[in-house]
């Protein structure tokens, strides 16, 4: 079985394992107050050109999302998200378990538009009964989105404007941020994100680390007492230096970018090949998640050899599958997949 | 200003005030452990033909809804509701503040269909990632709905079947239940509700009481320790006998039905008159909330004399308003309203 | 059975019932946006000499406490309270249900001392692991306390100083505030409370109203969006004008003070008589709750005729009971009680 | 600086790192549904002689504690714990953030006695106002305790009896369980724990793993839907196989026991040496945490060379420090520490 089901099915880049072995018997203080975290924090601030940013390291993405939102929102506030957003669909109501409604707006290709947010807020405050409704307090977006799509600079600037106007925190979930930045269609960079967001995360789990997300906090009120809330929500790792070590390694010598380039390179190879073979896609994704559409029969046969995920039946009887590449994907597996799909599509069958 | 804005703008039926004055200096034990509550509980059990039911009295509707749902759901469970449902829209995220997602399904005329719930549950449990999604644990419906519409016996039986199949609690919010039961199109009665629901409420606030909702608990696990949770969520009134007294009065000698008949009679008079005048409606409501559609200009002129609520602009440039009647509405006000609307609609204008 | 068990066992002062009957068919807007609430708010601001104060009206005391604390605290903050405080003991964990720890410090006679709070905070912030512990964010006191005792001006000024130093909100639960202010040993008044507290409540339920607490908010950040949270936590009464009407009546023409004086006058008569009869007390209370100590046998016999509450066995085999007077207590009942206790204490028995 | 501050300051046992490197490029399904977790689960069930137990793997201890308690308690229930218990003191109110009060009873040497729990429950249910108080729903103990002490078989059997009588879940936090079982004074073993507890954890973080706690669930209602709650609370690691791999390695060939023996051996060496030198202790601990008492001056001088933690000033002017050994502690560091303490205690100084 060759797995294209996700980008978190292998361990970590060998440089990380090597470094881990080297320092295994060094003694570090606990809970993220160590030299590794300090170095990783310094490197991320530099890459973001944000010397005042606070950077916290958490174990997982769901944890990162709900811990930030718990820290940012007052009890009556909710967070606006695309109805396809991870916090709306795939975190078992973690945000609600913190007491906050996820206000779901209909997404187009996984993205939330500034106009939607603006219109929602305008209606909220224009309504005589607005105190009877959840007040929008934050906007959650992911980049790449859950469908692999990307925000443009203009779209993010527009969201920033809306957030300023309605006093909303803008948070970007960057679980796959590296793949976003490495995409041929990318318009963003870290300094821009640090200037446009109130907080954003840089994913490690899907980008070469064993686990870990770096959360970049730009607004002062988000930084205040954040570590208390981190501890309360289970996000303060005893051996916090494990997170610092991994992010320091990823952020050094361009490793993070290199691993993302690898994943994107192979994903684009798949996209090109399938386009040439006239396969249609659920969505046009310029990143490491590709969503080709096959017949059920084709999916069934391919699944005997390859593991896909997020297999969704479409209304027309066909089926979309998700193919993920990652830093660890082997080029020969991609070649084989392409060949097998092509064979599958031969008219002779 | 003549108010048709809501059904909770006057005090209480005079019989309630009279009884209140009579017993004002009697000494009662606190927190609902008094004779008035016992009597009201007995009367409600009788009307429901449910001798085993527990009946608890709460101050308000939002409180009733979230207290029951807090008592019924485990942390990972959510409650399915129409996207127009009161808990989804107009309770400032009270259910989420208890930690639970309101799973909103698109309503038709304010109603949730058994098929929608069934399909949602089927998809949930069929999804490989269902543990990453909020588990449906309850169904919330209101009758009459927020749009004045009613469930049929068949529809409720179908919902019951789905709830049995998927192990969901079925809760009916009866904030305006009296008006529902008094409607010419009603198919339900209290014994039926007690047999088909796991819990339902009987509204007092909008039906002749100063305030108060009676919550009828049918399932044993919902009854257990409910009063602890009632206290914790602020719903245990120190002078709980005030609630018992009001419900005992309403439930005696057909007062509750009489007051509902009054409201419905006047609402149907408005409905008939407006239909005859070729006014169109947002929804065809057989209960005490009517939603006629006017031009903005007409709404503006009528609003100088009458208070409406829930004024919603439609896409075609016209505006729907909500007209509410209640136990306290004066027939002469209704006559005047009808006359003024007719005048407003004259071609000469 | 003559009830001295609590101060909330009768209805309301007749002036309130009379006013209620007078306006019963007036139409008021809902949710506290009516003229009665506006008038009550104005009267309370005047009495407090706090023209900028926000005043919100809630139904019950538990609700008032947790709604304010939910509005005031961030997720990692707790509230410091006496271990005998109402929020620590008798609200079924309502504050914890909002996510916040009640940090219990050992009370002396129901009171919390500034020095205790200061020392707790000093230790918290001096501890290297303070981020692993709940941050103190507020101080909860009640006046009179649950044991009937009172804070002095000096004690409150000292608490204010500590709260300023450690950035804590100071909240005074005044469920029985009237009886506190009417005590012969009282040093406080409303303008002083408005100057020393960030928020405090003025109880209605135990002071002549059917129900209701007025919450006075002094600090601007507490006022902001408070009504959203009020709605979310079930505290926004549909017929909010019922609360305004009652508080307007109580605050007019000295009614609140008159009712409190009555309760205190009778309680002091009991205190004097029992002292003269050499009865000892659990605590020396200058307010409407008296805690005499009897033998079990005496309690048993008295309980045949009188209802007491909070009957607590002491380590020495005797039993303390709580005797409550209120605005509605009849002098002849007090005289009878005193006579019966005296008879009970005769050496002949 | 030689660190005796905690037992989580190094990485992992080399066998774990080696295994990690070997399988780094194997592809595993996510979220704990992999072969490594299955193997670890099987090994733990065998060691516990509990073939029906569910075993879940979580990242950290705080997370393990609050996730279990969130799954087990209804909203009105709290958890009884020693006032020195980790959930009461050092988890930033994580249990309260899930809505539940930690009911703190005064510990003796870190331990909770069955009699205390029983008496608390008896009083709760005997109190007329018990519905106004948090219902005890679970008992939390740790073994070894936060002070390094151990429960006896008899003590645990007595707690089990009390929990059966009052319908409480019994949960044992085994963050340092290995060191407990390896103590010369230990009376317990895993099959006994599986028979006496409803749930208990087996710590990895402090016992040779990079991170991770195994949670053993014995009661069926705790197993049901646990993974939903695990996901919701941030405890479901994307690469869950990392946890399985570590526990499988620890549980194989006696590694877990070997590492615990090492830590205990060195701790006992310190205990003996300090006893011989007439050092007194805060508590007599038979496990890997030792709490000797020194003068401030001695602490100051030793701290120049050694890192301790949990340095607590005593009322008599002296200071207790915590000295931790672990699987990774070097014997030569222990020898040096003993020598330096002896020198420090020479009368010549």
Helix (H) or strand (E) holding A228: helix A226-232
What pLDDT, on a 0 to 100 scale, did the predictor assign at position A310? 82
What pLDDT, on a 0 to 100 scale, did the predictor assign at position A312? 87
> Is the predicted pLDDT of residue C183 greater than 90, yes or no?
yes
For D113-154, the pLDDT digits (tens) are 999 999 999 999 999 999 999 999 999 999 999 999 999 999
> Is the predicted pLDDT of residue B25 greater than 60, yes or no?
yes
Cβ–Cβ contact A132 with C under 8 A: yes
Cβ–Cβ contact B14 with C under 8 A: yes
The total number of residues shown for chain C amounts to: 349
Whether residue D21 and residue A25 make contact (CB cut-off 8 A), yes or no, is no
Cβ–Cβ contact C46 with A under 8 A: no
Quote the pTM value: 0.97
The confidence band for B347, taking pLDDT boundaries of 50, 70 and 90, is: low
Report C:73-102 residues touching B (Cβ under 8 A): 91-94, 97
Residue C75: which of D75, D97, D102 has the nearest Cβ? D97
Distance CA D247, CA D221 (A): 25
Whether residue C102 and residue D101 make contact (CB cut-off 8 A), yes or no, is yes
What pLDDT, on a 0 to 100 scale, did the predictor assign at position B188? 98
Whether residue D76 and residue B132 make contact (CB cut-off 8 A), yes or no, is no
Whether residue D93 and residue C100 make contact (CB cut-off 8 A), yes or no, is yes
For D234-285, the pLDDT digits (tens) are 999 999 999 999 999 999 999 999 999 999 999 999 999 999 999 999 999 9
The confidence band for B309, taking pLDDT boundaries of 50, 70 and 90, is: confident
- Report percent pLDDT > 70 for chain B: 99
Q: What is the mean pLDDT of residues D311-325?
A: 92
Helix (H) or strand (E) holding A103: strand A102-105
CA-nearest residue of chain B to C4?
B27
What does the block give as tokens for A82?
């695309």
What pLDDT, on a 0 to 100 scale, did the predictor assign at position A348? 56
φ/ψ region of D92 (left if φ > 0, alpha if ψ in -120 to 50, else beta) reads: left
Q: What is the mean pLDDT of residues B232-261?
A: 98
Query: Are C69 and C77 spatial neighbours (Cβ–Cβ below 8 Å)?
Result: no
Nearest Cα residue to B325 out of B172, B208, B152:
B208
A230 Cα to chain C: minimum distance (Å): 9
Whether residue D101 and residue C93 make contact (CB cut-off 8 A), yes or no, is yes
> Is the predicted pLDDT of residue A134 greater than 50, yes or no?
yes
Q: What is the mean pLDDT of residues C198-212?
A: 97
Query: Are B83 and B105 spatial neighbours (Cβ–Cβ below 8 Å)?
Result: yes
For C292-303, the pLDDT digits (tens) are 999 999 999 999
What pLDDT, on a 0 to 100 scale, did the predictor assign at position B310? 83
Q: Within a 13 Å sphere around the CA of B24, how many CA atoms are in the beta-carbon half?
A: 18
Q: How far from chain centre, in Å, is Cα D234?
A: 20
Going by the DSSP 8-state scheme, the letter that residue A336 receives in this structure is: H
The confidence band for C81, taking pLDDT boundaries of 50, 70 and 90, is: very high
Query: Are C236 and B61 spatial neighbours (Cβ–Cβ below 8 Å)?
Result: no
Nearest Cα residue to B53 out of B198, B237, B203:
B198
Mutate which of C61, C65, C134, C314 to disrupt the D interface (most D C-beta within 10 Å)?
C134
What does the block give as tokens for D196?
């006496």
Whether residue D11 and residue A24 make contact (CB cut-off 8 A), yes or no, is yes
Residue A204: C-alpha distances to residues A132, A243, A262, A286, C9 (Å): 40, 9, 15, 20, 62
Query: Are A7 and A176 spatial neighbours (Cβ–Cβ below 8 Å)?
Result: yes
Query: Are B56 and B218 spatial neighbours (Cβ–Cβ below 8 Å)?
Result: no
At which residue do the structure tokens 């100071």 appear?
A: C170
Q: What is the greatest pairwise CA distance in chain D? A: 65
Q: Is A83 helix (H, G, I), strand (E, B) or coil?
A: coil
For A39-65, the pLDDT digits (tens) are 999 999 999 999 999 999 999 999 999
Whether residue D75 and residue B231 make contact (CB cut-off 8 A), yes or no, is no
Q: What is the mean pLDDT of chain A?
A: 96
CA-nearest residue of chain C to A67?
C75
The confidence band for A349, taking pLDDT boundaries of 50, 70 and 90, is: very low
Q: Residue C178: is it exposed, middle or buried by C-beta count within 10 angstroms (0-12/13-18/19+)?
A: buried
Nearest Cα residue to A47 out of A208, A271, A323, A247:
A247
Cβ–Cβ contact A246 with D under 8 A: no
For C30-68, the pLDDT digits (tens) are 999 999 999 999 999 999 999 999 999 999 999 999 999
D18 Cα to chain C: minimum distance (Å): 33
Which residues does A124 contact at the CB level (< 8 Å), separation at least 6? A130, A133, A135, A136
Q: What is the mean pLDDT of residues A171-185?
A: 98
Going by the DSSP 8-state scheme, the letter that residue A102 receives in this structure is: E
C-alpha dihedral sign at B301, B304, B306, B308: positive
The confidence band for B330, taking pLDDT boundaries of 50, 70 and 90, is: very high
Q: What is the mean pLDDT of residues A147-164?
A: 98
Whether residue A78 and residue B89 make contact (CB cut-off 8 A), yes or no, is no
What does the block give as tokens for A152?
């443009």
Residue D62: which of A24, A92, A234 has the nearest Cβ? A234
Distance CA A57, CA A230 (A): 9
Mutate which of D239, D259, D332 to disrupt the A interface (most A C-beta within 10 Å)?
D239
Phi, psi values for residue D313, rounded to 5°: -70, 135
Which residues does B140 contact at the CB level (< 8 Å), separation at least 6? B65, B69, B79, B80, B81, B85, B87, B102, B171, B173
At which residue do the structure tokens 């330096």 appear?
A: D340
- What would the 3-class secondary structure string for chain C be? CEECCCCCCCCCCHHHHHHHHHCCCCCCCCCCCCHHHHHHHHHHHHHHCCCCCEEEEECCHHHHHHHHHHHHCCCCEEEEEECCCHHHHCCCCHHHHCCCCEEEECCECCECCHHHHHHHHHHHHHCCCHHHCCEEEEEEEECCCCCCCCCCHHHHHHHHHHHHHHCCEEEEECCCHHHHHHCCCCCCCHHHHHHHCCEEEEECCCCCCCCCEEEEECCHHHHCCHHHHHHHCCCCCCCCHHHHHHHHHHHCCCHHHHHHHHHHHHHHHHHHHHHHCCCCECCCCCCCEECEEECHHHHHHHHCCEECEEEEECCCCCEEEEEECCCCCCHHHHHHHHHHHHHHHCCCC
Distance CA D162, CA D35 (A): 39
First CA to last CA across chain B, in angstroms? 23
For A16-32, the pLDDT digits (tens) are 999 999 999 999 999 99
What pLDDT, on a 0 to 100 scale, did the predictor assign at position D349? 45
Residue B131: which of D74, D99, D228 has the nearest Cβ? D228
Whether residue D232 and residue A92 make contact (CB cut-off 8 A), yes or no, is yes
Q: So what's the ipTM on this one?
A: 0.96
C-alpha dihedral sign at C135, C140, C145, C146: negative
Task: Using an 8 Å CB-CB cutoff, list chain B residues near A127.
Answer: none
Whether residue B98 and residue D76 make contact (CB cut-off 8 A), yes or no, is no
Q: What is the mean pLDDT of residues C14-30?
A: 96
For D1-23, the pLDDT digits (tens) are 899 999 999 999 999 999 999 99
Cβ–Cβ contact C125 with A under 8 A: no
Distance CA A209, CA A249 (A): 9
- What would the 3-class secondary structure string for C282-322 be? CCCCCCCEECEEECHHHHHHHHCCEECEEEEECCCCCEEEE
Distance CA B245, CA B13 (A): 12
Q: What is the mean pLDDT of chain C?
A: 96
Query: Are A29 and D1 spatial neighbours (Cβ–Cβ below 8 Å)?
Result: no
At which residue do the structure tokens 């989420």 appear?
A: B96
Report B:51-70 residues touching D (Cβ under 8 A): 70
Q: What is the mean pLDDT of residues A99-117?
A: 97
Mutate which of A99, A101, A120, A133 to disrupt the B interface (most B C-beta within 10 Å)?
A101
Whether residue D59 and residue A59 make contact (CB cut-off 8 A), yes or no, is yes
Q: What is the mean pLDDT of residues A127-145?
A: 97
Whether residue D76 and residue B228 make contact (CB cut-off 8 A), yes or no, is yes
Query: Are B44 and B55 spatial neighbours (Cβ–Cβ below 8 Å)?
Result: yes
Cβ–Cβ contact D28 with A under 8 A: yes
Whether residue C76 and residue A131 make contact (CB cut-off 8 A), yes or no, is no
C-alpha dihedral sign at B58, B63, B69, B75: negative
What pLDDT, on a 0 to 100 scale, did the predictor assign at position C349? 45
What pLDDT, on a 0 to 100 scale, did the predictor assign at position D309? 87
- What would the 3-class secondary structure string for chain D be? CEECCCCCCCCCCHHHHHHHHHCCCCCCCCCCCCHHHHHHHHHHHHHHCCCCCEEEEECCHHHHHHHHHHHHCCCCEEEEEECCCHHHHCCCCHHHHCCCCEEEECCECCECCHHHHHHHHHHHHHCCCHHHCCEEEEEEEECCCCCCCCCCHHHHHHHHHHHHHHCCEEEEECCCHHHHHHCCCCCCCHHHHHHHCCEEEEECCCCCCCCCEEEEECCHHHHCCHHHHHHHCCCCCCCCHHHHHHHHHHHCCCHHHHHHHHHHHHHHHHHHHHHHCCCCECCCCCCCEECEEECHHHHHHHCCCEECEEEEECCCCCEEEEEECCCCCCHHHHHHHHHHHHHHHCCCC
Q: Which of A254-258, B94-98, C27-31 has the lowest mean pLDDT?
A: C27-31
Residue A76: which of C74, C75, C228 has the nearest Cβ? C228
Nearest Cα residue to D90 out of C133, A60, B146:
C133
Q: What is the mean pLDDT of residues D97-125?
A: 97
What pLDDT, on a 0 to 100 scale, did the predictor assign at position B349? 45
Question: Which residues make beta-bridge pairs with A5?
Answer: none
Q: Within a 13 Å sphere around the CA of A225, how many CA atoms are in the beta-carbon half?
A: 21
Helix axes of D241-251 and D14-22: crossing angle, nearest 10 degrees:
130
Q: What is the mean pLDDT of chain B?
A: 96
What does the block give as tokens for A202?
């840089």
Task: Kindly list the partner chains of chain B, i.e. chains with 3 or more CB atom pairs below 8 Å.
Answer: A, C, D
For D47-92, the pLDDT digits (tens) are 999 999 999 999 999 999 999 999 999 999 999 999 999 999 999 9
For B150-164, the pLDDT digits (tens) are 999 999 999 999 999
Residue B99: which of A90, A99, A133 has the nearest Cβ? A99
Helix axes of A331-345 and A255-276: crossing angle, nearest 10 degrees:
10
Nearest Cα residue to B31 out of D178, C90, D152, D205:
C90
Mutate which of C61, C238, C244 to disrupt the B interface (most B C-beta within 10 Å)?
C238
B33 Cα to chain A: minimum distance (Å): 32
What pLDDT, on a 0 to 100 scale, did the predictor assign at position D1? 86
């Amino acid at each position: 079985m060759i797995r294209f089901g996700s980008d978190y099915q292998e361990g970590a880049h060998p440089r990380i394992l090597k470094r881990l072995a080297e320092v295994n018997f060094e003694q570090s203080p606990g809970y993220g107050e160590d030299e590794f975290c300090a170095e990783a924090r310094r490197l991320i601030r530099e890459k973001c050109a944000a010397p005042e940013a606070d950077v916290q390291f958490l174990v997982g993405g769901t944890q990162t999302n709900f811990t930030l939102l718990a820290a940012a929102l007052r009890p009556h506030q909710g967070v606006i998200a695309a109805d396809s957003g991870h916090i709306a669909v795939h975190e078992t109501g973690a945000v609600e378990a913190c007491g906050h409604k996820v206000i779901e707006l209909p997404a187009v290709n996984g993205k939330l538009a500034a106009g939607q947010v603006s219109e929602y807020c305008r209606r909220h405050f224009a309504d005589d009964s607005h105190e009877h409704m959840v007040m929008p307090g934050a906007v959650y977006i992911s980049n790449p989105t859950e469908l692999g799509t990307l925000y443009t600079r203009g779209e993010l600037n527009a969201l920033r404007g809306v957030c300023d106007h309605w006093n909303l925190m803008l948070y970007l979930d960057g679980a796959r941020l590296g793949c976003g930045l490495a995409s041929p269609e990318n318009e963003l960079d870290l300094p821009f994100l640090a200037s446009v967001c109130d907080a954003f995360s840089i994913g490690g789990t899907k980008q070469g680390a064993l686990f870990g997300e770096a959360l970049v906090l730009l607004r002062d009120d988000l930084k205040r007492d954040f570590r208390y809330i981190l501890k309360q929500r289970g996000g303060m790792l005893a051996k916090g230096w494990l997170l610092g070590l991994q992010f320091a390694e990823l952020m050094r010598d361009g490793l993070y970018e290199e691993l993302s380039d690898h994943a994107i390179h192979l994903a684009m190879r798949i996209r090109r090949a399938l386009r040439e073979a006239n396969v249609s896609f659920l969505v046009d994704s310029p990143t490491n998640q590709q969503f080709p559409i096959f017949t059920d029969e084709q999916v069934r046969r391919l699944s005997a050899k390859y593991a896909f995920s997020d297999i969704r039946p479409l209304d027309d009887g066909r089926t979309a599958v998700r193919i993920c590449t990652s830093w660890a994907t082997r080029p020969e597996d991609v070649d084989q997949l392409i060949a097998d799909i092509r064979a599958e599509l031969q008219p002779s069958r």
